[in-house]
Structure 1
Amino acid sequence: MRKLPLVFALATLLLGNALAADHHDKDKAAQDDRAPDAALVHPQASESEGSVSVQGKRIAYKAVAGTLVLHGKNEKENQPTVSMFYVAYFKKGVDAAKRPVTFIYNGGPGSASVWLHMGAFGPRRVVTRDDSHTPAAPYQLVNNDYSLLDASDLVFIDAPGTGFSRLIANDPDPAKRGEQLKERRKEIYSVDGDGHAFAQFITRFLSRYGRWNSPKYLFGESYGTTRSAVLANDLENEDSVDLNGVILLSQILNFDTSIDGPEQNPGVDLPYELALPTFAATAYYHHKLPQAPAELEPLLAQVEQFALGDYASALMAGSRLDAARKQAIAEKLHQYTGLPVDYLLKANLRVSGGMFEHELLDNTDDTTGRLDTRFAGPSLDPLSKEAQYDPQSSAISSAYIAAFNDYVRKDLKYGQDQTYHEYATDITDWDSRHDGHEGALNVMPDLAKAMKTNPDLKILLNGGYYDLATPFFAADYDMHHLPVPPALMNNISYAWYPSGHMVYAHEASLKRLHDNVARFIEQTDNVKP
Structure 2
Amino acid sequence: MKSLAAVALIAAMPMAQAGAAMAQDKASGEAKTAKAIEAQVRSRDLVGTFGGQRVPYRATIAETIMTGDKDKQEAVIVTTSYVKTPADATRPVFFIYNGGPGSGSVWLQMGAFGPKRVGIPPDARDDGAPPYPILDNPDSLLDVADLVFIDPPGTGFSYLTEGADPKKYYGLREDARAVAEVIRRWINDNGRWNSPKYLGGESYGTTRTAMVVDELEGGTFNDVSLNGLILISTILDFAAREPTPGNEMAYVMTLPNMAAAAFYHGKVQATSVEAISEEARQFAIGPFATALLKGQDLPAAERASVRAELSRLTGLSETYLEQADLRVTSGRFYKELLRDRGLTIGRLDARYTGVDYDRAGETPDNDPSFYGIDAGYTAAINSWAREGLGFVTDRQYQSIGREPGQHWNWTLGGGRNAYLNVAPLIGKAMRENSGLRLFNAQGYYDFATPFFGAEYSLNRFGIPQDRVELKYYHAGHMMYVRDEDREALSRDVRAFIRAR
Over 3 Å counting, the alpha-carbon distance change for 1:516 and 1:29 in structure 2 is: farther
- Does structure 1 residue 514 correspond to structure 2 residue 493? no
Q: 2:159 aligns with which of 148, 157, 166?
A: 166
**8 Å contact kept, 1:62–1:92:** yes
Match of 1:523 in 2: 499
Shift of 1:446: 1.1
Over 3 Å counting, the alpha-carbon distance change for 1:39 and 1:513 in structure 2 is: farther
* 1:27-176 alignment, distance < 5 Å: 38=35, 40=37, 42-72=38-68, 76=69, 78-95=71-88, 97-130=89-122, 131-169=124-162
3-state DSSP of counterpart to 1:250: strand
TM-score (norm 2): 0.90
Map Cα deviations across residues 460-509 of structure 1 (whole Å, 9 max, x no partner): 1110000000000110111011424xxx2211111011110011111101
Match of 2:442 in 1: 463
User: How far apart are the structure 1 equivalents of 2:98 and 2:414?
Assistant: 25
Match of 1:249 in 2: 232
Over 3 Å counting, the alpha-carbon distance change for 1:242 and 1:273 in structure 2 is: same
3-state DSSP of counterpart to 2:218: helix
Match of 2:455 in 1: 476
**8 Å contact kept, 1:127–1:139:** yes
Shift of 1:389: 1.4
User: How far apart are the structure 1 equivalents of 2:36 and 2:402?
Assistant: 20
Match of 2:330 in 1: 353
Structure 2: which amino acid aligns with 1:453? E
Map Cα deviations across residues 197-245 of structure 1 (whole Å, 9 max, x no partner): 1111111111111111111111210000000001111100234111000
Q: 1:447 aligns with which of 426, 430, 438?
A: 426
Structure 2: which amino acid aligns with 1:433? T
3-state DSSP of counterpart to 2:407: coil
User: How far apart are the structure 1 equivalents of 2:67 and 2:357?
Assistant: 45
**8 Å contact kept, 2:228–2:436:** yes
User: How far apart are the structure 1 equivalents of 2:436 and 2:91?
Assistant: 18
- Does structure 1 residue 269 correspond to structure 2 residue 265? no
**8 Å contact kept, 2:51–2:143:** no
**8 Å contact kept, 1:248–1:460:** yes
3-state DSSP of counterpart to 1:248: strand
Gap runs ≥5 in structure 2: 1-24
Match of 1:408 in 2: 385
Structure 2: which amino acid aligns with 1:217? Y
CA-based RMSD of the aligned residues comes to 1.9
* 1:199-278 alignment, distance < 5 Å: 199-238=180-219, 239-258=222-241, 260=242, 262=243, 264=244, 266-278=245-257
User: How far apart are the structure 2 equivalents of 1:368 and 1:224?
Assistant: 24
Match of 1:386 in 2: 363
Shift of 1:451: 1.2
Match of 1:5 in 2: none
The structure with the larger Rg is 2
**8 Å contact kept, 2:263–2:276:** no
Shift of 1:54: 1.7
Match of 1:285 in 2: 264
Q: 1:197 aligns with which of 169, 178, 185?
A: 178
**8 Å contact kept, 1:121–1:146:** yes
Map Cα deviations across residues 141-160 of structure 1 (whole Å, 9 max, x no partner): 11101001111100011110
User: How far apart are the structure 1 equivalents of 2:432 and 2:271?
Assistant: 45
Over 3 Å counting, the alpha-carbon distance change for 1:380 and 1:433 in structure 2 is: farther
- Does structure 1 residue 431 correspond to structure 2 residue 409? yes
Q: Greater shift after overlay, 240-249 or 324-333? A: 324-333
Structure 2: which amino acid aligns with 1:351? V
Shift of 1:58: 1.6
User: How far apart are the structure 2 equivalents of 1:325 and 1:236?
Assistant: 49
Q: Greater shift after overlay, 108-117 or 425-434? A: 425-434
Residue identity over aligned pairs, in percent, reads: 39
Shift of 1:30: 8.3
**8 Å contact kept, 1:192–1:435:** no
Over 3 Å counting, the alpha-carbon distance change for 1:389 and 1:77 in structure 2 is: farther
Q: Greater shift after overlay, 372-381 or 398-407? A: 372-381
3-state DSSP of counterpart to 1:139: coil
Match of 2:469 in 1: 493
**8 Å contact kept, 1:327–1:345:** no
User: How far apart are the structure 1 equivalents of 2:99 and 2:358?
Assistant: 29
User: How far apart are the structure 2 equivalents of 1:305 and 1:163?
Assistant: 41
Match of 1:9 in 2: none
Map Cα deviations across residues 100-138 of structure 1 (whole Å, 9 max, x no partner): 111100000111000001000111110111211012101
- Does structure 1 residue 294 correspond to structure 2 residue 271? yes
User: How far apart are the structure 2 equivalents of 1:380 and 1:213?
Assistant: 57
User: How far apart are the structure 2 equivalents of 1:80 and 1:512?
Assistant: 42
User: How far apart are the structure 2 equivalents of 1:33 and 1:505?
Assistant: 49
Aligned length: 471
Structure 2: which amino acid aligns with 1:507? D
**8 Å contact kept, 1:48–1:63:** yes
User: How far apart are the structure 2 equivalents of 1:144 and 1:29?
Assistant: 52
Structure 2: which amino acid aligns with 1:414? F
User: How far apart are the structure 1 equivalents of 2:495 and 2:187?
Assistant: 24
User: How far apart are the structure 2 equivalents of 1:194 and 1:156?
Assistant: 15
User: How far apart are the structure 2 equivalents of 1:152 and 1:285?
Assistant: 35
- Does structure 1 residue 185 correspond to structure 2 residue 166? yes
Over 3 Å counting, the alpha-carbon distance change for 1:384 and 1:35 in structure 2 is: farther
Map Cα deviations across residues 180-205 of structure 1 (whole Å, 9 max, x no partner): x3xx2112111110111111111111
User: How far apart are the structure 1 equivalents of 2:117 and 2:27?
Assistant: 41
User: How far apart are the structure 1 equivalents of 2:207 and 2:170?
Assistant: 14
3-state DSSP of counterpart to 1:112: coil
